[in-house]
Structure 1
Amino acid sequence: MKVFNLKAMKVFNLKQWLLLFLCTHIIFPSLSMADDLSDELLVNINKFRQDMKLPVLTQNENAACLAKQIADQFKGQVCSNSTGEDTVPGTEPQFPNYPQFLENCHLNVSDTKDGVVMPDCVPGLDPQIAFQNYTHSQYIQNVNDTKFVSAGIASEDNWFVLVLATNTTGGNFQTYNRGTMHYINKLLSLLPILGALLLAA
């Protein structure tokens, strides 16, 4: 008959819960805050579209994945009259590693060519200011366009990136239906850290 050391099990379980707490509140807080800002911006844009008698935009995880890839490229870039919503059409930043962004999100050019990517520089990442920028600039023509039915938003440093998608095969960002793998891969990348913490405990 096996005898279990309940006291040792309680201590071990306490350590496990402590590690989970630390992971949730130290490793992931910035991701959670960024998600909150993105959600608030999408809510405001959808209220605006409703006021204009337009259908609301649903959340598109694959578009959000691409938005995150692009937002990361703007980290450290200062706002100017040639960036974000002030960019002169046709002079938007070009990313030579854009194909890699698509691959990271399990997307093809053919599935995204009808979508639009709209970066916006907002010091302090205030979603209310970003909302004003998206609805009072050249971006308004896309925000008001009924062909766009879903959106993905990401933020980094002082930048929001809004990606709009259609419900057509050329812009729905959903061909492979594997957008969630982006987040799963991120979580998997943290497993070595968790393993080291458990061993240390």
Structure 2
Amino acid sequence: MSSLSSFSIFGVFAIAFLFFSSPVLSKDEEDNLLQGLNSYRQAQNLPPLAKNAKADCIADEIADDNKDQPCAVTTAKSNVVPSRPSQITKFMDYAEKCKVDINTTTDAIVMPVCVPKLVQTLLLANYTHSQYAKYLNDSRFVGAGVGSEDDWMVVVLTTGASGGSFEGSGTGSLVASVWGCVALALLGLMIGDFERL
């Protein structure tokens, strides 16, 4: 009986490992890449890139959308070139889902890379020995979001300026504006009632 219960416990752990190991490995790969990029920047006498949670969310969304694209894309319309958020067709959807004010993304840069099995040395080389290096060497970029899915890794670089910080929420700003208008309307009604007295 004890061997049966030992087998059951082992089975539960094995199943749990299968279900939870992939996302953990994915996040480890993302963290390792960010660490490698920061080592590269340190060698260039630049400050490290701080992790930006909203840029992380955007990077995850872009990587997820690209997961079915093969790595061997070499056409002029390839997804493996740096782009501004405004050049990405579904960026408004990503911004809404990640609660990012679109006005805080204009200075950002999106850098997708496709490497089979996300081999770390190849990933790092794809960022530091390619057209992406000029952005990594640019001191305006102070933050990064990193996302991965299958063979795709996406790095989103953010700036410290309001035009590239990924801060704020378009929805929150709209709600604040609506409440501001409601408050002014109520104040107007109250003043009108007060003048009648």
TM-score norm. by structure 1 comes to: 0.70
Q: Distance in 2 between matches of 1:26 and 1:103?
A: 32
Q: Structure 2 matches for 1:85-104, cutoff 5 A?
A: 85=80, 87=81, 95-104=88-97
Letter paired with 2:138:
D
Note the alpha carbon deviations across 1:44-72, whole angstroms, 9 max, x for none: 11111101111111111111100000001
Q: Structure 2 matches for 1:153-192, cutoff 5 A?
A: 153-176=146-169
Q: Distance in 2 between matches of 1:106 and 1:22?
A: 37
Q: Distance in 2 between matches of 1:154 and 1:23?
A: 25
- For the residue of structure 2 that corresponds to 1:124, the secondary structure is helix
Map of 1:81 onto structure 2: 74
Q: Distance in 2 between matches of 1:165 and 1:23?
A: 39
In the TM superposition, what is the alpha-carbon distance from 1:108 to its structure 2 partner?
1.9
Work out which of the residue numbers 21, 28, 38 in structure 2 matches 1:29. Answer: 21
Q: Is the 8 A contact 1:55 1:149 kept in 2?
A: yes
In the TM superposition, what is the alpha-carbon distance from 1:113 to its structure 2 partner?
1.1
Q: Distance in 1 between matches of 2:143 and 2:28?
A: 18
Note the alpha carbon deviations across 1:106-160, whole angstroms, 9 max, x for none: 0121011111100001011112211101111111110111000010111111110
Answering whether residue 53 of structure 2 is matched by residue 61 of structure 1, we say yes
Q: Is the 8 A contact 2:33 2:120 kept in 1?
A: yes
> What RMSD, in angstroms, separates the aligned Cα atoms of the two structures?
2.7
Answering whether residue 104 of structure 2 is matched by residue 111 of structure 1, we say yes
Work out which of the residue numbers 125, 129, 139 in structure 1 matches 2:118. Answer: 125
Which ranges in structure 2 are unaligned for 5 or more consecutive residues?
Answer: 1-10, 170-197
In the TM superposition, what is the alpha-carbon distance from 1:96 to its structure 2 partner?
3.2
Query: Looking at CA atoms only, which structure, 1 or 2, has the larger radius of gyration?
Result: 2
Q: Is the 8 A contact 1:41 1:128 kept in 2?
A: no
Note the alpha carbon deviations across 1:74-128, whole angstroms, 9 max, x for none: 111112223354x4x77x9x54332111011001210111111000010111122
CA 1:29–1:140: 2 relative to 1, 3 Å: same
**Percent identity of paired positions between Structure 1 and Structure 2:** 39
Map of 2:140 onto structure 1: 147
Q: Distance in 1 between matches of 2:15 and 2:103?
A: 38
Q: Distance in 1 between matches of 2:79 and 2:45?
A: 27
In the TM superposition, what is the alpha-carbon distance from 1:25 to its structure 2 partner?
3.6
Q: Distance in 2 between matches of 1:174 and 1:28?
A: 31
The alignment of Structure 1 onto Structure 2 pairs a total of residues equal to: 157
